[in-house]
Amino acid sequence: MTALTELTTVEYTHRWSAETGLIHSYPRADLSNTQILYLVPRCSTDVMYPVRHARVELSCAAASTSDRFTWCAGCAVAARRARRTQLEQQVPQQRKAIA
């Protein structure tokens, strides 16, 4: 069951973390709020002690798919899981619309 506060995939965007050397997904709302100095990547939102990355160490320039950068596997899995959940929720609604 999806919590009401769970963010959808479009509410995330990618940034390169100098700390991990990986491209992680971060909530767009957190990135736009300059009061948040340490951001929690998507791969760490469901753990008891989430990692936090300093805003100053994140770069949007590296969000391209260059060979130089590696995507975070945890963020990719979390995005796939969220997309699957969204699709599973859409299917019953589409069946209702057809019937």
Which span (7-15, 43-51, 62-70, 89-97) binds Zn ion, by CB under 5 A? 43-51
Q: What is the DSSP string of 30-49?
A: HHH-TT--EE--GGGTTSSS
Cβ proximity to Zn ion: between 19 and 88 the closer is 19
Alpha carbon of 48 to those of 51, 55, 95: distances in Å?
Answer: 10, 21, 37
User: Could you say whether residue 53 binds Zn ion (CB under 5 A)?
Assistant: no
Cβ(86)–Cβ(9) below 8 Å: yes
**Size, binding site for Zn ion by CB under 5 A:** 6
Q: Amino acid letter at 44?
A: S
Among 12, 14, 39, 41, binds Zn ion (CB under 5 A): 41
For binding to Zn ion (CB under 5 A), which residues are involved?
24, 41, 43, 72, 74-75
